[in-house]
Structure 1
Amino acid sequence: MKSKLYKISPNDNVAIALTDLIKGEIQDGITVLSDIKSPHKIALEDIRKGENVIKYGFPIGHALCDIKKGEWVHTHNLTTNITSALSYSGDYKNDYTPSKSNITFEGYERINGEVGIRNEIWIIPTVGCVNKIASVIERESQKFISGSVDGVFAYSHPYGCSQTGDDQENTIKVLSALAQHPNACGILVLSLGCENVNVSVLKEHLGNYDKEKIKFLICQESDDEIKEGTEIIKKLCEIHKDDKRTSINVSRLKVGYKCGGSDAFSGITANRLCGEVNDMLTAVGCTTVLTEVPEMFGAEQILFKRSLNNDIFQKQVNLINSFKNYFVSHGESCADNPSPGNHEGGITTLDEKSLGCIQKGGKSIVTDVLTYAQKATEPGLNLLYGPGNDIVSTTDLTCSGVHMILFTTGRGTSLGAPVPTVKISSNSKIYNKKKNWIDFNAGRLLDGEDVKFLAYELQSKILSIASGEKTRNEINNYRDISIFKNGVTL
Structure 2
Amino acid sequence: MTAASALDDATVGARVIRLHPDDDVVISLDQLVSGTRIASENTTVSGLIPPGHKMATRAIQAGAAVRRYGQIIGFASQPIRPGQHVHSHNLEMGEFERDYAYGVEIRETVPAAQPATFEGIVREDGRVATRNYIGILTSVNCAATVARAIADHFRRDIHPDALAAFPNVDGVVALTHGTGCGIDSAGEGLQILQRTLGGYACHPNFGGVLVIGLGCETNQVPKLLATQGLSDSGTLRSFTIQDAGGTTKAIARGIELVKEMLLQADHVRRQSVPVSHLVIGLQCGGSDGYSGISANPVLGAAVDLLVAHGGTAILSETPEIYGAEHLLTRRAETVEIGRKLVSRIRWWEDYCGRNGAQMNNNPSAGNKAGGLTTVLEKSLGGIAKGGSTKLTEVYEYAQPVRARGLVFMDTPGYDPISATGQVAGGANLICFTTGRGSAYGCAPSPSVKLATNTALMDRQADDMDLNCGQVLDGTKSIQELGAELFQLLLDTASGRPSRSEVHGYGQNEFVPWQISVIT
TM-score, reference length from structure 2: 0.91
- 2:295 counterpart of 1:270: yes
Query: 1:87 Cα shift?
Result: 8.7
The answer (yes or no) to whether the contact 1:148–1:243 under 8 Å persists in 2 is yes
Query: 1:432 Cα shift?
Result: 1.1
Q: CA–CA distance in 2 between the matches of 1:203 and 1:348? A: 44
Where 2:134 maps in the other structure, the secondary structure is: strand
| Structure 1 counterpart of 2:343 | 318
After superposition, residues 456-471 of structure 1 pair within 5 angstroms as 456-471=483-498
Query: 1:89 Cα shift?
Result: 5.8
CA offset digits 1:123-156 (Å, max 9, x no partner): 1111111111111101113414522111111112
The answer (yes or no) to whether the contact 1:274–1:362 under 8 Å persists in 2 is yes
The answer (yes or no) to whether the contact 1:270–1:426 under 8 Å persists in 2 is yes
| Structure 2 counterpart of 1:489 | 518
- Letter aligned with residue 181 of structure 2: C
Q: CA–CA distance in 2 between the matches of 1:487 and 1:91? A: 33
Where 2:461 maps in the other structure, the secondary structure is: coil
Change (3 A) 1:240 1:387: same
- 2:273 counterpart of 1:261: no
Where 2:423 maps in the other structure, the secondary structure is: helix
The answer (yes or no) to whether the contact 2:430–2:447 under 8 Å persists in 1 is yes
| Structure 1 counterpart of 2:38 | 27
Q: CA–CA distance in 1 between the matches of 2:98 and 2:15? A: 41
Change (3 A) 1:431 1:306: same
Query: 1:212 Cα shift?
Result: 2.5
| Structure 1 counterpart of 2:115 | 102
| Structure 2 counterpart of 1:92 | 103
Q: CA–CA distance in 2 between the matches of 1:242 and 1:179? A: 19
The answer (yes or no) to whether the contact 1:60–1:81 under 8 Å persists in 2 is no
Unaligned segments of structure 2, at least 5 residues: 1-10, 156-161
2:58 is aligned, of 28, 42, 45, to: 45
| Structure 1 counterpart of 2:242 | 220
Where 1:136 maps in the other structure, the secondary structure is: helix
- 2:194 counterpart of 1:172: yes
After superposition, residues 129-208 of structure 1 pair within 5 angstroms as 129-142=142-155, 143-144=162-163, 146-164=166-184, 165-208=187-230
Query: 1:283 Cα shift?
Result: 1.6
Unaligned segments of structure 1, at least 5 residues: none
The answer (yes or no) to whether the contact 2:107–2:331 under 8 Å persists in 1 is no
Q: CA–CA distance in 1 between the matches of 2:126 and 2:228? A: 17
Query: 1:210 Cα shift?
Result: 7.4
- Letter aligned with residue 433 of structure 1: R
Q: CA–CA distance in 2 between the matches of 1:390 and 1:454? A: 24
- Alignment length, in residue pairs? 488
| Structure 2 counterpart of 1:426 | 452
Change (3 A) 1:321 1:456: same
- 2:470 counterpart of 1:444: yes
The RMSD of aligned alpha carbons is 1.6
Instruction: Work out the percentage of aligned pairs sharing the same amino acid.
Output: 35
2:369 is aligned, of 344, 347, 351, to: 344
- 2:256 counterpart of 1:231: yes
Query: 1:336 Cα shift?
Result: 2.2
Q: CA–CA distance in 2 between the matches of 1:422 and 1:141? A: 25
Q: CA–CA distance in 1 between the matches of 2:61 and 2:209? A: 60
| Structure 1 counterpart of 2:159 | none
Question: Displaced runs of 4+ in structure 1, greater than 3 A?
Answer: 86-91, 93-98
TM-score, reference length from structure 1: 0.96
The answer (yes or no) to whether the contact 1:338–1:350 under 8 Å persists in 2 is yes
Where 1:474 maps in the other structure, the secondary structure is: helix
